[in-house]
Structure 1
Amino acid sequence: MRKISILGATGSIGTQTLDVIRKLDGELRLIGVTANTSVQKVIEIIKEFEPSYVGMMDHNSAEEIKKYCEEYNKNIEVFHGIEGLNKIASLNEIDIVVTSVVGMIGLEPTMKAIEAKKDIALANKETLVVAGEIVMKAAKENNVRILPVDSEHSAIFQSLRGNDISTLGKIILTASGGPFRGKTTEELKNIKVEDALKHPKWNMGRKISIDSATLMNKGLEVIEAHWLFGCDYDNIQVTVHPQSIVHSMVEYTDGSIIAQLGAADMRLPIQYALNYEKREKVIADTIDFYEISQLTFEKPDLDTFKALDLSFRAGRIGGLMPTILNGANEAAVELFLNEKIKFLQIAELIEKCMKVFSDEVEKELNLENIIDLDRRVKEYIAEKAVL
C-alpha cells in the first residue's frame, strides 16, 4: 500500500485523485490533505478517508476543521498557511505527494517534499515553469522521481518508457484547441468569462480553463516538457488535436513515432503516476476504435493565440523570464475572471511585463529571486490593468 498526501485535495485534480483511491480500494492510503477554504469538502474527505493530517491555507478555515475534529473525536493534526502545506508535503509516513495546487504557491512545498525524499506526482505546472532547473537538480540529488500527472506529459513519459532517452528526436504535444479553436482575433475581442470557461473536452478548474482558452496552458506545458525530458525547445512541437484522444507523441531519431492514446479522463494519468511502475485495472472508459470517425491535427494559430508564442520565447530566453511569464499570466487571468480586463488583454499584459522586466532575467536563479520577482510582476499588473 502506497501512502500519499494531496496538496489541493478539493480542486479538480485533487477530487479525481480521491476517486482513484476509491477505485483502487486498498492500494492507496490517504495520509494528508490540504485545501484553501473549502471546509465542508474537507470534512467530507475526513469522514470518508480518515487522513491523519489536514492543512488549510486560511486560518479561520483551519480553526473550523479543528473544532469539527474535537467535536467528533477525530485524532487529526490540523495546520494552516504555507507551513501547513510544507508539513503535509514532507510527512515521514508518506511515499508520494500529489501536488495539485494551482499557481506559484506549489513551488515551496514541492521543494520541501523533494528534500524529504518523497516522490512527486506533479500536477502543478508552475513548479517546473519558474524553477525547472532548481527542481530537477534537487530531485536528482535526492533520488526523487518526478512523475507527471498532466495528461500530455504522462503520455510522453509512457511513450519514452523502455527506450534510450538519447534517441529522442522530437516531442509532439497535443492541444485540444480550447473553446475558441478556429476563431479570429476580431471574434475574441468581446469574449465573456463564462464562454472562456466552457472547455469542450476537459473538466478543469477556472484558472486552468482560461489558460486552455488562451493556449497559455500549452505554453506552460512546453516549458515543463523541456525540463522533464531534457528536450530543446526547437525539438518541441505543438499540434492542435480537437478529439483529445492522442495525448502526446514522441518522435525518435529514426523517424518512428510512439503515441499514447486514451479517454479524456484525468484519472488515467493520475493512476499511472500513483502506481508507477505498474499498471492497475481500468478505472475509466476505454476507446472503441470502431466509433472513432477521425483523428485530426492542426498547426496552432500563434498570431491569434499569442500566449503560446510568448511561452516559447520565455523558455528560450530562460533564467527568470519564465517567472515573469507565469506571474503576469496568473495576475492577468485573475483580472479577467473578475471581469476587469478583456480576454485578449491577458496576452498583451504578459508581453508587456516580459519587456518591462527584461533586465531582471539574468539575476541568479534561486527561490528568493523567483518569489520576489513573481510578487513584483503581479503588483505591476495590478497597477497597469487598463492598457
Structure 2
Amino acid sequence: MRKRVAILGSTGSIGTQALEVIAANPDRFEVVALAAGGSNPQLLAQQAITFDVPVVAVARASAAEDVQLALYAEAQRHDYARGDHRVPRLLAGPDAAVEVARIECDVVLNAMTGSVGLLPTLAALESGTTLALANKESLIVGGELVTGAAKPGQLVPVDSEHSALAQAMRGERRDDVRKLIVTASGGPFRGRTRAELAEVTPEQASAHPTWDMGPVITINSATLVNKGLEVIEAHLLFDIDFDRIEVVVHPPSIVHSMIEFIDGATMVQASPPDMKLPIALGLAWPDRVPQAAAGCDWTRPATWEFFPLDEVAFPAVGLARRAGAFGRTGPAVFNAANEVCVEAFVAGHLDFLGIVDTVGLILDEHLGDPDVAREDMTLAGVLGADAWARTRAAELVEKR
C-alpha cells in the first residue's frame, strides 16, 4: 500500500528532492498535497500536474492567480482537454500550509524555511500524522510545545545529522548514551580567523563546499548558526543534556553524526552528502528505500578528518547553547533575530560578522529580562517573542 504524502515547501531544495525520491518509487508513495510560498508558480504547477496532486496551497494570496494560470497552462500541456489530468483545488493565504498539514494522509514532510513552519508542524502532530521534519526551526522555536504534541515515533527528523542520530539510536537505550556528536562541514570559511571574516560577501557565504541547499540555510551554515540550531534540535529530539552534545568539524560531510556509548563504543552513520537518503528514510520511516542514494565506495582510499570547532571565529554554537539551555522563548528569539539579520546581510545592510553579533545582543537583552524567566511556555508567548526579536533586530540593523 502506497504512503500518502503531503509536502510543505515543495519548490525548495528539500521539497524538489523529495519529489524526485517519490518519482523513483511510484509503488511506495503518492502525493496528495503540495504547499509552497508562491514565488515560483511555474514549478509548483509542474509538480502538481506531473504528480496529479488534488490540492495545492500557496502562502501568498497575491500569487494565487499566477499559480492558477500556471496550473491550467501545465494541464493543457499534459492533455487536460482529454481529461487525462485534473486541475488541483487551490488554497491561498497564510493559513494554507496549516490546512495542508491537516489533510488526511500518512506523512507530512515539512520542508518549509524558518519559524513560519511552526503552526503547520503543530497541525500535523495534532492530526496524528507522521511528521517528517526538515523544518528544524519549528521544533526549535516551539520547543516543548512541539515535543509535547508528538506521540512516540510520530516525529521523524530529516536533517542529515539528526537522521544519522536516529538511525544510530535504533535498538539502543538512551541510558546507554554518553554523548551525541554532531558533525559540521565547517562551511566555506573553515580555518579563517574572525578578522578574516570581516569582509565576507553574500556571494561568498552562499557557496557551500559540500551541500547544495537553499539560500538561508547556506548562509546559516557559513555563520554556523545552522549548527547551533541543530544542537538545540538534537537536545529536543533525543532528550540529551546540552553538555553531552558535542560539535566537531568534518569537512567531507561523509560522517553525518555519531553516538558515543557509556562503554566507549561509537556508532557512526556514514554516506556521501546526499539529502535523498534522509528524505527517503523520513518518508518511509521506519523502512528504508532501496537505492535512495549512492553508498560510500569502500574500494577507494579515503581519509576522514575531524577538527575542533573554533568558537572564537564562530560563536553561534555557543549562543545557541545558551538559548537552548535557557529554554522557553530563548530559542525563538535566537532564530527570529538571525532570520532578520540574514535578510539584512543578503540585502547589503549588515556585514557578515554583524549577523551573529546582533543576534548575541538581542539574546542577551531577552535573557536578561527578569519577566521572561517567569513566563510559562505558550504558543502566544513564543509568537510574541518571535515578533519582538524581529522588531529589535531591524532596529539594531538600522543603527549599524
Query: How far apart are 1:361 and its partner, in Å?
Result: 4.4
Q: Is 1:41 equivalent to 2:43 in the alignment?
A: yes
Query: How far apart are 1:6 and its partner, in Å?
Result: 0.5
Query: How far apart are 1:127 and its partner, in Å?
Result: 1.2
Distance in 1 between the 2:30 and 2:374 partners? Answer: 44
Q: Find the residue that maps to 2:143 and give its secondary structure.
A: helix
Question: Are the structure 2 counterparts of residues 292 and 221 from structure 1 closer, same or farther at C-alpha, using a change threshold of 3 Å?
Answer: farther
Question: Are the structure 2 counterparts of residues 127 and 113 from structure 1 closer, same or farther at C-alpha, using a change threshold of 3 Å?
Answer: same
Structure 2 length as normaliser, TM-score? 0.93
Q: Find the residue that maps to 1:357 and give its secondary structure.
A: helix
Q: Is 1:4 equivalent to 2:5 in the alignment?
A: yes
Q: Equivalent of 1:315, from 315, 321, 324?
A: 324
- What does 1:1-387 correspond to in 2, within 5 Å? 1-37=2-38, 38-69=40-71, 72=75, 74-92=86-104, 94-140=105-151, 145-358=154-367, 359=369, 360-385=372-397, 386-387=399-400
Distance in 2 between the 1:310 and 1:171 partners? Answer: 19
Query: How far apart are 1:128 and its partner, in Å?
Result: 1.4
Letter in 2 for 1:180: F
Q: Give the conservation status (yes or no) of the 8 Å contact 1:114–1:144.
A: no
Per-residue Cα deviation, 1:257-309 (whole angstroms, up to 9, x for no partner): 10100010000000111111222211322211232431011110001101111
Query: How far apart are 1:324 and its partner, in Å?
Result: 1.1
Distance in 1 between the 2:130 and 2:205 partners? Answer: 34
Q: Find the residue that maps to 1:190 and give its secondary structure.
A: coil
Question: Are the structure 2 counterparts of residues 144 and 115 from structure 1 closer, same or farther at C-alpha, using a change threshold of 3 Å?
Answer: farther
Structure 1 length as normaliser, TM-score? 0.96
Distance in 2 between the 1:213 and 1:115 partners? Answer: 35
Q: Give the conservation status (yes or no) of the 8 Å contact 2:48–2:88.
A: no
Per-residue Cα deviation, 1:95-134 (whole angstroms, up to 9, x for no partner): 1100010001000011011111111000011111111211
Letter in 1 for 2:275: M
Q: Give the conservation status (yes or no) of the 8 Å contact 1:118–1:144.
A: no
Q: Find the residue that maps to 2:34 and give its secondary structure.
A: strand
Q: Give the conservation status (yes or no) of the 8 Å contact 1:13–1:266.
A: yes
Aligned residues: 384
**Structure 2: which 5+ residue stretches go unaligned?**
81-85
Question: Are the structure 2 counterparts of residues 115 and 304 from structure 1 closer, same or farther at C-alpha, using a change threshold of 3 Å?
Answer: same
Distance in 2 between the 1:303 and 1:247 partners? Answer: 24
Q: Give the conservation status (yes or no) of the 8 Å contact 2:46–2:71.
A: no
What root-mean-square deviation, in Å, do the aligned CA atoms of Structure 1 and Structure 2 show?
1.3
Q: Give the conservation status (yes or no) of the 8 Å contact 1:117–1:144.
A: no
Distance in 1 between the 2:324 and 2:182 partners? Answer: 15
Q: Percent identity?
A: 38
Q: Give the conservation status (yes or no) of the 8 Å contact 1:174–1:248.
A: yes
Q: Give the conservation status (yes or no) of the 8 Å contact 2:3–2:28.
A: yes
Query: How far apart are 1:23 and its partner, in Å?
Result: 1.5
**Structure 1: which 5+ residue stretches go unaligned?**
none
Query: How far apart are 1:79 and its partner, in Å?
Result: 0.7
Letter in 2 for 1:381: A
Distance in 2 between the 1:300 and 1:15 partners? Answer: 32
Tell me what 2:83 maps to. Answer: none
Q: Give the conservation status (yes or no) of the 8 Å contact 2:114–2:135.
A: yes
Distance in 1 between the 2:278 and 2:377 partners? Answer: 31
Q: Find the residue that maps to 1:239 and give its secondary structure.
A: strand
Per-residue Cα deviation, 1:145-189 (whole angstroms, up to 9, x for no partner): 111000000000000101112211110000000000000111100
Q: Give the conservation status (yes or no) of the 8 Å contact 2:130–2:155.
A: yes
Query: How far apart are 1:70 and its partner, in Å?
Result: 5.7
Q: Give the conservation status (yes or no) of the 8 Å contact 2:277–2:292.
A: yes
Question: Are the structure 2 counterparts of residues 49 and 293 from structure 1 closer, same or farther at C-alpha, using a change threshold of 3 Å?
Answer: same
